[in-house]
Amino acid sequence: MSARHKLNAAYLHGSLIIAGIIGGISESFIAFGITFAVLLIGNIQGGDIRLNRHQTRRTRRK
């Protein structure tokens, strides 16, 4: 298992744990689902979870 896969799994498990805690405190599966979705999307958009092998960055060439 590559380092990228391990990091992706760690962020995914962290999101599940946090969403589980919030869902458990509120006793709501809907709160769990919404929290998990928000955390997962935030991690993907932030670049913490990398879906592609090579993440492209658009840079301006001078």
Residue type, 53: R
Q: Where do the domains of the chain lie?
A: 3-46
pLDDT for 48 equals 87
pLDDT for 4 equals 83
- Rounded to whole angstroms, the Cα distance separating 4 from 50 reads 8
In what helix (H) or strand (E) does residue 5 lie, and over which residues does it extend?
helix 3-26
How do residues 7-61 score in pLDDT, each as one tens digit?
Answer: 889 999 999 999 999 999 999 999 999 999 999 999 999 988 888 876 555 566 6
pLDDT for 61 equals 64
